[in-house]
């Protein structure tokens, strides 16, 4: 039973560039949430996708956008990268659009220079 | 805004010592509560969860947590820690119904636990 997978593992980008991160949910899950974890901090909620729509959004600017595909996989896009966007980006999946139990992937480490 | 506070940034214990990590949250409504653990080099794993019912919940690896609604707390405990418990522990809350919340977990900043052999 495959868990949550994320790609790429690491990424280095330059300020002003755009980045796309990818996530495949745990088998059987249909809901994907994205979190940003800065160094020394707990994860912060970016948004959640369910039935291919953004269901809820945290306090992140519009530079952060996402998408969910019919196979439930998801992408996180960040435009106009800032140095402060450097963080570990976590994807979590769950079932049924509810938050009862989220399973996390290993994350994508984004470094913006 | 809702928030989760973890009282200790770094806890250092010797093996066989007892552990209690504090967690408080700031929401007066219905909550789902979680403790996640992140072992070195690994991803976040669910340690235990509370949705309703018995406020004392048991998780994996001998951990337990007690939900005290009147204190807005969900402290994590283990009677006797092992070196393999060295990890970072995160408390998380889902504030049901807050701002239409159905999706987001609010995490504390984490507590790093170091267990000396």
DSSP 3-state of B19: strand
What b/e readout covers B22-60, taking b as 16+ CB neighbours within 10 angstroms?
ebbbebeeebbbbbbbbeeeebbebbbbbeeeeeebebe
pLDDT in tens, B96-106: 765 555 568 89
Contact A93/A32 with Cβ under 8 angstroms?
A: yes
What is the pLDDT at residue A99? 55
Query: What's the domain range around B20?
Result: 4-116
By CA distance, what is B89's nearest residue in A?
A: A42
Among residues A68, A64, A29, the alpha carbon closest in space to that of A45 is found at: A64
By CA distance, what is A107's nearest residue in B?
A: B43
Round the average pLDDT of chain A to a whole number and report it: 93
Contact B25/B106 with Cβ under 8 angstroms?
A: yes
Q: Any idea what the Cα angle at residue A91 is, between residues A88 and A95, rounded to 5°?
A: 160
What is the pLDDT at residue A96? 72
Q: Does the CB of B40 have a partner CB in chain A at under 8 Å?
A: no
Chain A residues lying within 8 Å of B104, measured CB to CB: 33, 45, 48, 56, 58, 99
CA distance A64 to A46: 8
What is the pLDDT at residue A1? 60
CA distance B64 to B59: 6
What is the number of other CB atoms lying within 10 angstroms of the CB of residue B76? 23
CATH code at position A16: 2.60.40.10
pLDDT in tens, B11-46: 999 999 999 999 999 987 888 999 999 999 899 999
Q: Which of A43, A46, A90, A106 to mutate to test the interface with B (most CBs of B within 10 A)?
A: A43
**Token reading at B100:** 């239409």
Contact B105 A45 (CB under 8 A): yes
Q: Where are the alpha helices (DSSP H) in A37-98?
A: none
Query: What's the domain range around A83?
Result: 5-112
CATH code at position B53: 2.60.40.10
DSSP 3-state of B90: strand
Does the pLDDT at position A86 exceed 90?
Answer: yes
Chain B residues lying within 8 Å of A44, measured CB to CB: 107
What is the pLDDT at residue A2? 72
By CA distance, what is A32's nearest residue in B?
A: B103
pLDDT in tens, A61-82: 999 999 999 999 999 999 999 9
Among residues B109, B87, B101, B100, the alpha carbon closest in space to that of B25 is found at: B109
Terminal C-alpha separation, chain B: 41
Number of domains forming the structure of chain B = 1
What is the pLDDT at residue A40? 87
Does the pLDDT at position A60 exceed 90?
Answer: yes
Contact B103 A55 (CB under 8 A): yes
B62-86 mean pLDDT? 96
Contact B107 A43 (CB under 8 A): yes
DSSP 3-state of B48: strand
Number of domains forming the structure of chain A = 1
């Amino acid at each position: 039973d495959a868990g949550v997978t994320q790609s790429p593992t690491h990424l280095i980008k330059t300020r002003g560039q755009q980045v796309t991160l990818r996530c495949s949910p745990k088998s059987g899950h249909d809901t994907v949430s994205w979190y940003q974890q800065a160094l020394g901090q707990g994860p912060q909620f970016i948004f959640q996708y369910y039935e291919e729509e953004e269901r809820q959004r945290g306090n992140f600017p519009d530079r952060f956008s996402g998408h969910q595909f019919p196979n439930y996989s998801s992408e996180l896009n960040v435009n106009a990268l800032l140095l402060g966007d450097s963080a570990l980006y976590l994807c979590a999946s769950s079932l049924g659009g509810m938050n009862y139990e989220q399973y996390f992937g290993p994350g994508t480490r984004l470094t913006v220079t | 805004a809702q928030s989760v506070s973890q009282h200790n940034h770094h806890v250092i214990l010797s093996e066989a010592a007892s552990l209690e990590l504090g967690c408080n949250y700031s929401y007066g409504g219905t909550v789902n509560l979680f403790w996640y653990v992140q072992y070195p080099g690994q991803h976040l794993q669910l340690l235990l969860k509370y949705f309703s019912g018995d406020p004392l919940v048991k998780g994996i690896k001998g951990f337990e947590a007690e939900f005290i609604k009147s204190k807005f707390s969900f402290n994590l405990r283990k009677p006797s820690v092992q070196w393999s418990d060295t990890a970072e522990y995160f408390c998380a809350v889902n504030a049901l119904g807050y701002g239409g919340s159905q999706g987001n977990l609010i995490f504390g900043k984490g507590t790093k636990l170091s267990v000396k052999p």
